[in-house]
Structure 1
């Protein structure tokens, strides 16, 4: 059984707080290999330029294999999903709506005449899937979508040639059209397309681009988007179709085709097989964003960030042109089994001329994604008596655990986040830790078993979570080991992105009175369990089934706390709530998703609370509230909340250039003023050590970092989805509701979710800082009743020196 990985709606929310941008960054983990040799490109390796390649519309038809896969997936959902809902006319109706929304979430492409035509299928999709074994509706709707997208691209190109882009009126654009009606006819559709193009043009103009640059950028963007859909095959259509069906049952059931299945396993295993490069496509060229340390690409010393990959060859085979190719498909070409060879045709980042080509030969290898594994920090803080306390912080991005869909029995690269956390706890205790913070702010879930094991590190023994299946049977999942790896003061830090398994851990530690919970007004609210089923196990071998039928991940159970309350929908409410823009967002959390299962309760399990928090909670809240009220950083958050509420109520943007310039100048001035104010503060910076798993077995501590800064984070992880396929290692899925049908802007920035500022800013993590202060207070109050390990006394308010 497994939970899922982080939060659908996160990316949308961050766009809203950042100015409601319509574009988004696209990145994926590229695949990997070993040692490389540079050589001059042979003449036959020169690839065709993107502008010369015609876009050929897809001509797809459903195959018998597609129908078999759909039938098996539908039957599994009917018989084994938690709701036991039959695929009847009611489900068929919602299925049709979900499928249309998958392609056109912003209601920009399908015309109302299209909808009237597709209405024929409203109560017949169940018959087509279960009785006719015919997926004609799925392919017919996709072809109509492509036709409308093609019309949009043609119209946009015409506008780019003829339109005089002036922005001197009071025109406004409706940014979020999810609840708006579909366009009545082509005239209204063109009006919407023109508005969107004008918005995109203004965005580029405000970024300082010249008219000819803007025209070229937008033309390529729309062409690239159309080309991506022109390259779709049956598996892509089936992916969207069956995902739409699964989401009718609940938002965390998913169909994963072969590629998505591999990405899901990579996210759980924290490992991939390939060359070890993070890729992006800023201008239609597959570009290296980052090399993964220790991977074949990095070890070769022959590749570097900003190198552009224009061709990929398997072994000694011919090169395949990948310019303007769907980035997912490029990744699939580069990724491959350990020990196999891939050749890359590359334009070096430092090439004097873009016509320069080099061939790099790499042998793929297995790469561990260590930057997404658990990590720790040790921080020194003086308490109110001047005694220096060492605080341990464990950052746990997910509850990862080895998952292998290949059937291999090789356990040489087995991963367990519980084992990793145990090692980090041992190191922190050996270095004098007196209090612990478990940071689950970006943890979207993962393995239920790993979550139970980690909870057991902090309680003597007893029920951790209750699980009820679709038949109403309740199973109590317990920690049976009376040993505690840490029995001292503890804080758990959560956010609206904390979901699934992370909510189980937080809820259990709260029910036992074991830790002080600190964070947003509630966690995400994903209280469901998903089981992955390989569809090949349900299908007889057949000559018609040439592809891997993929995997169905469907909800089989609901989680309940030890006290009997569900974590579903409502999430877990912290003991101390901190100000956050996420507290007021309507686009984040389980309630923002379609078809969530309801909240309910069952009978409480029998357990003995430790009651280590309640005696101190009122005083801890009082002290925290005083600090937050006096904090300039939290004052900034309150300002951001006020602005965000106005944005959320309006959801339109001005297309007046002068007004937008003023808004941008005000935002930039606000950012600089905050940055300047932070630099003028005379804040005590505690001595801090960052500890990775590689440091655990080394004697002593690494060199302390120069200043207090957040535990290193992957920006990718924050945008992932509980119930989506995986976290940062996942390739961008064609089922993403915010992506299909919209031109991709790979250069759009995402901004920090609490302040609207860049998440890579060197400004300290003031939410973590407040959690540290709460823990220091807790440790001081705790020490009055029970001993802590000895600290070192320094003058009050002073920090210890290296």
Structure 2
């Protein structure tokens, strides 16, 4: 590739530091998750064989692969040439993409694929040929067909008994591939028996179980039968990008659009959340203010059976892949779509009704920053008013296709600034910034938000692949918030979250509280539109997509990288995530290493150090006395036992006993929580829509709302695993749920108290302690209104 490539098509350094856990909601207009499974469906599996059109590579895929490979060679942080070494790892990654559990490919397949081990670079760079991608996919589909046929035979002929000491190994990621089809069939049978027992333990009857499993396997097979060339190319180039590091991705046209939607917190469609429990596209929820909700013609559980564009013909969508259905329904603002539905309350399933909707732009406000106000009672009377800002991601408007409405510009920094000003106006004395679910986002937004809490100075240092270091600073000497500050993190806090947390820790500005460390993603990605690097050609009929690749590493103001190690809080709370080896950057394949550079010049505030030991002592005392944290310790011990043996018993009585013990433990905890009679603490929730209204909303009952527990709710917007976790990415075997791995818990027979967010509650108490230790003169200064420093909106 010529040296001028960077200049010609470079999007500019669009700093993107990504994330690690995209929410799997299915927004109509944003995308769709892999079809869900309805346990106990009584609808019979289809009898017709599934036929897949033969896919063949075209020059278009070859050209796209060539440009993506050259970009990775020349622009990726490592400057790694696409040579035989990369080719070898590329082959392994691509095979793993289809068969991560080593259930389908057999040793003879691997021997055939070995021909490509040191030739994939030649195929792409010299021939611009993607033939190996399609050959390997064809073999995978052949093995998947064989598995489905074998499952059908077993369900038809076998009597399933579960009275032996057999165990099944569910995690086979490090196990060898089966030697031949006979060994593969044994693995398939073991997995089927596990799935069957799961359904039986959930109370299903034999015929229901058979129908459920048949349908599940057929739907999985049909999903891959519907793949086209773009789907295969998506997996192929994503495997190549992941050889360079786990946060570089190839995004096809559809994934690229959804990447922008996630950042913009806006989409164009009808405003509905969909699922596909039994082959029917079903409305799970209507988005407030969207066309579907405004029409009053649709409701939850309505089933969509056909879709038409404007006055065009209807397309049958029953049993269609949910991603494909969403692509039919969503579209540009102002266009018309017609839906043929079976109403949820229809007296007969043969009833059909047509609903016509005009698509519109929908803002995803439930994914935007929000706040709470909590009045903590003080001994002897009075209260301490504290504020909590929940920031799910560092969102910011981006436009890859030049169609974004700039009047609808989104900036999380602007939103957070508005919330802080509102909290100050309502007399908040201390502030918690909750980043537990925040998987990253815009670098510039992170820098602005960190700057709200310090006078001025370096926030983060960025080093590129050539070793050049750039210091990113907050240059505004004003502070938007000068009072006590706690930052709450988890193992799911990544990238931009780690920059903000690390900067506030380096300056001694905030008390960090949470899991033993954050995720440990210390890399920066930049997206490049591939069309900018391609000559106009008739071979390209669709947008060639986007390559998002690592261009830099970021470092704290003190010179330490957060890569791999993450950010260690000042106060670590017990969590199962602290002992898990499957979460965090170190659990990913091929992460970049940890290192250090020279510290930047900055002046510490040291507003935490004088009080930290006392805060730790008080927190540790509460944690020791807390029943909730005692439950966490029990869960940690149970988790460590499970980690020692990741197999599962296929003995029905043993599993029933485990199930009963688990359910008894859950109910006992719930009863204990209900018996506590803890005093009610007023909590008021604030959305951005409430900021300009006078006063505060009425308080809600903390015990009447399901809160976001630290482990369960963490997992913000994923923007660095868009192919692996993006609900609109082509479903790969790796992201397709293992059939039958449903929750083992029975539905409770009695009302159970929701588990409070005791991690947040402990963070609140740490903040209250901090307020009590905070000097009075500082407290008076902190309560004075400060000039707003919200970024201007273009």
- TM-score over 0.5 for the alignment? yes
- 2:449 aligns to what SS in structure 1? helix
What aligned pairs does 1:295-334 form with structure 2 within 5 A after superposition?
A: 295-334=290-329
Whether the aligned pair in 2 keeps the contact of 1:32 and 1:277 (CA below 8 Å) is: no
Q: CA deviation at 1:430?
A: 0.4
Mapping for residues 586-605 of structure 1, pairs under 5 Å: 586-605=581-600
Conservation of the 8 A alpha-carbon contact between 1:239 and 1:255 = yes
Q: 1:768 aligns with which of 760, 765, 778?
A: 760
Question: 1:215 offset after TM fit, Å?
Answer: 0.5
Matches within 5 A, 1:638-653: 638-653=633-648
Which residue of the other structure, out of 13, 18, 28, is the alignment partner of 2:26? 28
Aligned to 1:725: 722
Identify if the C-alpha distance between structure 1 residues 165 and 640 changes in structure 2 by more than 3 Å, giving closer, same or farther.
same
Given candidates 577, 581, 591, the residue that maps to 2:572 is 577
SS at match of 2:499: helix
* Whole-angstrom CA distance in 1 between matches of 2:723 and 2:773: 41
1:121-160 to 2 correspondence within 5 Å? 121-160=116-155
Aligned length: 752
**Equivalent residues of 1:32, 1:366 under 8 A apart:** no
The offset of 1:281, in angstroms, is 1.1
Alpha-carbon separation, structure 1, partners of 2:295 and 2:714: 27
Task: Tell me if the contact between 2:709 and 2:759 (Cα under 8 Å) persists in the aligned partners.
Answer: no
Distance 2:439 2:125 in 1: 34
Gaps of at least 5 residues in structure 2 are 1-13, 32-42, 746-751, 784-794
In the alignment, the residues of structure 2 paired with residue 384 and residue 667 of structure 1 have an alpha-carbon distance, to the nearest angstrom, of 39
**Corresponding residue of 1:3:** 16
Mapped to 1, the partners of 2:534 and 2:709 lie a distance apart of 42
Change (3 A) 1:711 1:635: closer
**Aligned residues of 2:515 and 2:577 also touching (Cα < 8 A):** yes
Query: How many Å apart are 1:204 and its aligned residue?
Result: 0.7
Quote the residue 1:546 is aligned against.
541
C-alpha distance in 2, partners of 1:261/1:211?
A: 44
Deviates more, 1:606-615 or 1:326-335: 326-335
On the 8 A contact 1:514/1:613 being kept in 2, the answer is: yes
TM-aligned CA deviation for residue 369 of structure 1: 0.3
Deviates more, 1:137-146 or 1:304-313: 304-313
Question: Alpha-carbon deviations, 1:501-546, whole Å to 9, x = none?
Answer: 0000000000000000000000000000000111011111111100
How far apart are residue 706 of structure 1 and its match?
A: 2.3
Equivalence for 2:211: 216
Distance 1:668 1:50, change over 3 A: closer
Corresponding residue SS for 1:29: coil
Q: 1:533 aligns to what?
A: 528
Asked if 2 retains the 8 angstrom alpha-carbon contact of 1:4 and 1:721, the reply is no
In the alignment, structure 1 residue 657 sits paired with structure 2 residue 649: no
User: 1:281-430 maps to which residues of 2 (within 5 A)?
Assistant: 281-383=276-378, 386-408=381-403, 410-430=405-425
Q: Which of residues 181, 185, 188 is equivalent to 1:190? A: 185
> Aligned partners of 2:577 and 2:204: how far apart in 1?
33
Choose 697-706 or 248-257, whichever is displaced more: 697-706
Which string of whole-angstrom CA distances, capped at 9 and with x for unpartnered residues, describes residues 87-114 of structure 1? 0000000000000000000000000100
Alignment partners' CA distance in 2, 1:385 and 1:520: 33
Q: Give, in whole Å, the separation in 2 of the partners of 1:81 and 1:721.
A: 20
Q: Match of 1:680?
A: 675
Residues 120-144 of structure 1 deviation map (CA, whole Å, 9 limit, x = unaligned): 0000000000001111100000000
CA contact (8 A) 1:447 1:501 kept: yes
- Which residue does 1:175 correspond to in 2? 170
Hey, what's the Cα distance between the residues in 2 that align with 1:185 and 1:739? 25
Secondary structure of 1:548's match? Answer: coil
Cα deviation for residue 49 of structure 1 reads 10
Cα pair 2:272 2:286 within 8 Å, conserved: yes
Relative to structure 1, is the Cα distance of residues 547 and 568 closer, same or farther in structure 2, using a 3 angstrom cutoff?
A: same
Structure 1 residue 213: Cα displacement: 0.6
Mapped partners of 2:311, 2:49: distance in 1: 27
Residue 412 of structure 1 aligns to a residue in which SS? helix
Q: Which residue is 2:97 aligned to?
A: 102
Q: Residues 18 and 496 of structure 2 are in contact (CA less than 8 Å); yes or no, is this contact kept in structure 1?
A: no
Q: Which residue does 1:23 correspond to in 2?
A: none
- Contact persistence 1:110–1:148 (CA under 8 A): yes
User: For 1:705-716, what aligned pairs fall within 5 Å after superposition?
Assistant: 705-707=700-702, 709=705
CA distance in 1, matches of 2:78, 2:742: 40
Q: Is the 8 A contact 2:557 2:599 kept in 1?
A: yes
Shift of 1:443: 0.1
The answer for the alignment partner of 1:16 in structure 2 is none
Contact 1:500 1:722 in 2 (8 A): no
For the pair 1:240 / 2:235, whether they are aligned, the reply is yes
Q: Map 1:482-493; keep pairs closer than 5 Å.
A: 482-493=477-488
- Is the CA contact 1:49–1:323 (under 8 Å) kept in the aligned structure 2? no
Cα root mean square deviation, aligned: 2.3
SS in 2 for 1:567: coil
Q: Does 2:225 align with 1:225?
A: no
User: More displaced, 486-495 or 332-341?
Assistant: 332-341
Deviates most, 581-590 or 664-673 = 664-673
Deviations 1:363-417 (A, max 9, x none): 1101000000000000001345644110000000000000111113630111000
Contact 1:254 1:723 in 2 (8 A): yes
- Pair 206,4 (structure 1): closer, same or farther in 2 beyond 3 Å: farther
Taking the aligned partners of 1:489 and 1:644, their CA distance within structure 2 comes to 36
Contact 1:435/1:490 (CA < 8 Å) preserved in 2?
A: yes
Task: Indicate if the aligned counterparts of 2:490 and 2:714 stay in contact, CA closer than 8 A.
Answer: no
Which of 433, 437, 443 aligns to 1:442? It is 437
CA separation in 1, counterparts of 2:212 and 2:80?
Answer: 47
Which of structures 1 and 2 has the larger relative contact order (alpha carbons within 8 angstroms, sep 6+)? 1
1:684-703, aligned counterparts within 5 Å?
A: 684-703=679-698
Deviation per residue, 1:15-70 (Å, 9 max, x gap): xxxxxxxxxxx75211289xxxxxxxxxxxxxx99836642123100000000000
Give me the whole-angstrom Cα distance separating, in 2, the residues matched to 1:110 and 1:723: 28
Secondary structure in structure 1 of the residue aligned to 2:494: coil
1:630 corresponds to 2:625: yes
State TM-score, norm by structure 1.
0.91
Is the partner of 1:477 in helix, strand or coil? strand
Can you list the C-alpha shifts for 1:313-362, whole angstroms capped at 9, x where unaligned?
Answer: 11111111111211111111111100111111111111122221111111
* Residues 1:499 and 2:523 aligned together: no
1:613 maps onto 2:626 in alignment: no
Does the residue aligned with 2:397 lie in a helix, a strand or coil?
coil
What CA distance in whole angstroms lies between the structure 2 residues aligned with 1:582 and 1:486?
Answer: 31
Q: 1:707 offset after TM fit, Å?
A: 2.6
- Deviation, 1:167, is 0.6
Deviations 1:702-739 (A, max 9, x none): 111123557679988727646112999x4243365632
Structure-to-structure mapping, 1:739-778, within 5 angstroms: 739-740=735-736, 748-749=742-743, 762-778=754-770
Q: Report the counterpart of residue 21 of structure 1 in structure 2.
A: none
TM-score normalized with structure 2 length: 0.91
Equivalent residues of 2:254, 2:729 under 8 A apart? no
Contact 1:27/1:732, CA 8 A, preserved across alignment: no
Q: Bigger shift: 608-617 or 339-348?
A: 339-348
